[in-house]
A and B are shown apart, each in its own frame.
Chain A
Amino acid sequence: MVVGAVELLPRVERGISRDSKLTAAERRHAAGDRLHLDPQPFDAFLTRLRPGARYAVDVPPGARGPFITRGAVVRAYAAFYFLPALQVRQAPLVFHYRSP
């Protein structure tokens, strides 16, 4: 218990003081910011979507990380960010993303 308290409690306080300062926009884009994605194209495309709409993603594969490519990361984040619109392989509505 002592080990835990000494190690943990200061870290809890640091986390509170850091995260409590986040704005609504920073919170909304927290996952994308961590991946260094540009939030602007995502927000712009989001305004064109309605729930259940089908869209495709156009993004170059990019560099390969330990598990997936940069392009796959963008596709995954788009799938998360644009829900409840549905990502499909091909659709008239296309989200284009190019890394900054």
Chain B
Amino acid sequence: MRVAELLGANALIFLVGLGLLPWLGVARSWRQLAARCGLAYLCGLVAVGILAAHLALVHVGFGWAALALVASVAAVSGAWHLRGSERPIWTRPRWPALAAASALTALLVEYLRAFAVAPLDRYDAWAIWALKGHALYAIGWADPAVFAGSEYRFANLDYPLLLPSLEAVDFHAMGAFDTRLLHLQFLLLLVAALPALGTVLAGQVRPLLLWALIGAVALAPAVFDQLLTAYADLPLALVFAVGVAAAGRWLLTDERWALAVATLCFAGALLTKNEATLFVAAAFLGLFAAAYSRWRPLAIAAAVDVALLLPWRLFVRVHGLSDINYNLADSFHPHKLGVGPIAFRTLGGQMLDPRQWGLLAPIFVVVLAVAVLRGERALAVFAAFTVLLSWIGLSWIYVISHFEYSSYLGSTKRRVVASVVLAAAALIPLLVGARGGSDERELLVAREPGNPHADEA
């Protein structure tokens, strides 16, 4: 029964995302909605997570009633947005795509068996994420007695609340704090992210390449292992990777919906873990460097993300919460500079470890080099900035950490690189199939009046 309730809540979340797609500009007709509905679930999870996390700050719980209301409003308003537009046309799917989808489904069903029986026993999973999810469910809001309580400082109280809010939505739906079924939500995040990645990249890359990427991500041992721990690192990585893929598509095509999806995913990432500030900043720096002539939409996207993060940062400031692991202010008087290169090398080794990530990172390096040699400047600059700055920034955290670096690095090195590896992986198909080096020129031509593709851009 609880499984049905959990799945029911997720069906409503999918509906929220489906209704959101027309508003994001992803779907301007019923036909486009059908073609791009792969984005709906992830967009719904991010949107519901952001909404529930913000409402928790102002003493508003987010249970069945709120979820049903938001789903209804999203669905009706989305349908209103698409009224009178083109209807979908049924086309028979090609057998290679059917075979690939069947294999992926079989793999996810196998994962489901593992997620359905996993115990909640990893420290951060219960001490940070599930504890907060349980508190949001049981108390109904981000009560400072817990969320700013001195006895709860161990729970990284400065970490944002998107993931605990999603967990609380599930607990509300199930009517219980179920530490076993909680794991299914983490698998469902993967179920949401894979078609989202496919939808963002579809039309820009060869289907074979797209399925290869989706398969490689789904089969990466670290993806399964880390999702099963019920930590936030892999959910963050999945959401960030879809955002990076959407941003990469925007660089190539200038489609506004792609930037809108990237903005939403980056906001979701920012509200999942503090490290996301580093990753999202790196991505925006990469975007500005790669497409400086299109700075206006980028500035708006960045402002939206800052605005969506602001309520949480205000809560953190008002309650005087700080990171128990490191202090960015220590960057001005680092006394462990020697740790930087060690951390950089160690994290690089983790990213290249085939027993964790397969060959995703080496392939990224090769296709990035080829893209540079081919003169595909914009995408290569974005990819290099995003990955390299994130990697350097992560390494810097160990320089300024309060903890003895080898213990801290040893216990976190496997999972912190997840966002960097998956973001890099998400860009591989675009780098392989990227258009020629004159991205900016092509876009200017595409925008000229009379160009049949101008409206799409």
Which residues, 84 to 141 on B, are CB-close (under 8 Å) to A?
110-111, 113-114, 117-123, 126-127, 130-131, 134-135, 138-139
Instruction: Judge whether A66 and B407 touch: CB under 8 Å.
Output: yes
Say whether A93 faces chain B, with CB atoms less than 8 Å apart. Answer: no
Contact of B451 with A by CB under 8 A:
no
B107 to chain A, nearest CB (A): 9
From B117, B120, B149, give the contact of A86 (CB < 8 A): B149
Contact of B134 with A84 in the complex, beta carbons under 8 Å: yes
Give chain A interface residues in 1-60, CB to chain B under 8 Å.
Answer: 1, 3-5, 7-9, 11-12, 15-16, 19-20, 22, 26-28, 30-31, 33-35, 51-52, 57
Alpha-carbon distance between A58 and B180 when the two chains are bound, in angstroms = 30
On chain B, the residues within 8 Å of A88 by CB distance are: 145, 149, 151
Question: Which listed residue (B138, B155, B215, B404) contacts A79, Cβ 8 A?
Answer: B155
User: Which residue of chain B lies nearest to A20 when distances are taken between CB atoms in the complex?
Assistant: B117
- Contact A16 B135, beta carbon cutoff 8 Å: no
Report B-chain residues with C-beta under 8 Å of the C-beta of A11: 221, 225
Could you say which of A4, A19, A84 has the most chain B C-beta atoms within 10 Å of its C-beta?
Answer: A4
Given known pairs A8-B224, A9-B110, A72-B154, the reply for A30 and B354 (CB within 8 Å) is: no
Which of A8, A30, A76 has a CB less than 8 Å from the CB of B155? Answer: A76
B216 contacts partner chain A, Cβ-Cβ < 8 Å: yes
Chain B, interface size category, equals 35 or more
Interface centre among A1, A30, A33, A34 (most CB of B within 10 A): A1
Against A, the Cβ 8 Å flags (1 = close, 0 = not) of B405-431 are 001100100000000000000000000
B192 to A: closest C-beta gap in Å: 20
Cross-chain contact B119 with A67 (CB below 8 angstroms)? no
A16:B113 contact, CB within 8 angstroms: yes
The interface residues of chain A, by DSSP majority, are classed as: helix
Could you tell me if A51 and B121 are in contact, using CB atoms closer than 8 angstroms?
Answer: no
Taking a contact as CB atoms under 8 Å apart, the answer to whether A22 and B358 are in contact is no
Task: Tell which of A3, A9, A84 touches B135, judged by Cβ atoms closer than 8 Å.
Answer: A84
Whole-angstrom CA separation of A31 from B138 in the bound complex: 20
C-alpha spacing A88/B224, complex, angstroms: 37
B431 to chain A, nearest CB (A): 19
A19 and B117 alpha carbons, distance in the complex (Å)? 6
Measured CB to CB, the closest approach of chain B to A65, in angstroms, equals: 9
Q: Are A79 and B131 in contact (CB under 8 A)?
A: yes
Most buried by A among B121, B122, B215: B121
Given contacts A15-B118, A84-B134, contact A1 B215 (CB under 8 A): yes
- Residue B359 contacts which of A3, A35, A67, A84 (CB distance < 8 angstroms)? A3
Given A30-B119, A76-B155: A87 in contact with B359 (beta carbons within 8 A) = no
- For residue B204, CB closer than 8 A to chain A, the reply is no
A80:B126 contact, CB within 8 angstroms: yes
Complex contact A27–B180 (CB within 8 A): yes
Q: How far is the CA of A19 from the CA of B120 in the complex (A)?
A: 11
Q: Does B188 contact A (CB under 8 A)?
A: no
Known: A26-B119, A34-B121. A4 touches B358 (CB 8 A): yes
Q: What B residues does A15 contact at CB under 8 A?
A: 114, 118, 228
Q: Is the beta-carbon distance between B355 and A7 smaller than 8 angstroms?
A: yes
A52 to B359, CA, bound (A): 50
State how many angstroms separate the Cβ of A27 from the closest Cβ of chain B: 5
Q: Is the CB of B221 within 8 A of A8?
A: yes
Is the CB of B150 closer than 8 A to any CB of chain A?
A: yes
Residues of chain B whose beta carbon lies under 8 Å from any beta carbon of chain A? 110-111, 113-114, 117-123, 126-127, 130-131, 134-135, 138-139, 145-146, 149-152, 154-155, 177, 179-180, 212, 215-216, 219-221, 224-225, 228, 354-355, 358-359, 403-404, 407-408, 411
What are 10 inter-chain pairs, A to B, with CB distance below 8 A? Answer: A1-B215, A19-B118, A22-B117, A26-B119, A30-B120, A51-B138, A76-B154, A83-B135, A84-B134, A86-B149
Given contacts A4-B358, A19-B118, A77-B127, 10 further A-B contacts (CB under 8 A): A8-B219, A12-B224, A16-B114, A31-B120, A31-B121, A57-B151, A75-B154, A83-B177, A84-B139, A88-B149
Binding site for B on A (CB under 8 A): 1, 3-5, 7-9, 11-12, 15-16, 19-20, 22, 26-28, 30-31, 33-35, 51-52, 57, 66-68, 72, 75-77, 79-80, 83-84, 86-89
